[in-house]
């Protein structure tokens, strides 16, 4: 069974989804690639994953680097999962480029990496907002560029 709950954050409402004790999704309400199956999910604000997530988000939005104590299960293809694992290695307060991730993975296409980054189903915790263009520009974010800027500014105020 997939459980869901809505959580308000300082930069907008998010919908979360969890299954078998793991977080499987976190999206800004209405973002690009917002899940269509939410109508069949069961609302459960008290599911233990969501309680842990609320604590994690509280620390994060208070400007503290939270630990990764929440089990994540984003699904995806093998390639997408390899990109998302690379995102998890980007330290809090740092950024990298799509090209750098492509090099790390031995992939010839920064565009393919960008596609996987864009389809990351667990925003913020799998920090796709920490990936910028090779020229330093703040590019693409399924939740909106304004949210990406806000997340980056919160983690590293001098980046914006």
Q: What is the set of domains in the chain, with CATH numbers?
A: 3-61 (3.30.160), 78-159 (1.10.10.10)
The 8-class DSSP code of residue 29 comes to T
Whether the pLDDT of residue 32 is over 90: the answer is: no
Containing H/E element for 146?
A: helix 145-155
Average pLDDT, the chain: 91
The rounded percent of the chain whose pLDDT value lies above 90 is: 71
pLDDT band at 39 (very low <50, low <70, confident <90, very high): low
Residue ranges with strand state E in the chain: 3-9, 12-19, 22-28, 42-43, 96-97, 131-132
For the annotated catalytic residues, the residue numbers are: 128
Tokens at residue 92, please? Answer: 């809090």
Partner residues linked to 27 by β-bridges: 15
Q: How far is CA 122 from the centre of its chain?
A: 4
How do residues 98-128 score in pLDDT, each as one tens digit? 999 999 999 999 999 999 999 999 999 999 9
Whether the pLDDT of residue 160 is over 60: the answer is: no
């Amino acid at each position: 069974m997939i459980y869901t709950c809505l959580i308000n954050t300082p930069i907008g409402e998010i919908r979360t989804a969890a299954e078998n004790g793991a977080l499987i999704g976190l999206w800004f309400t209405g973002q690009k690639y917002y899940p269509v199956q939410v109508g069949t999910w069961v609302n459960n604000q008290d599911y233990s994953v969501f309680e842990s997530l609320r604590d994690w988000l509280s620390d994060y939005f208070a400007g503290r680097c939270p630990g990764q104590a929440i089990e994540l299960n984003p699904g995806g293809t093998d390639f997408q999962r390899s990109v998302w694992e690379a995102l998890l290695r980007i330290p809090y307060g740092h950024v990298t480029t799509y090209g750098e991730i492509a090099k790390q993975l031995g992939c010839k296409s920064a565009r393919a990496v960008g596609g996987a980054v864009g389809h990351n189903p667990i925003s913020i915790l799998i920090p796709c907002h920490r990936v910028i263009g090779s020229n330093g520009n703040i590019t693409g974010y399924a939740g909106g560029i304004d949210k990406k800027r806000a997340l980056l500014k919160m983690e590293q105020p001098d980046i914006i």
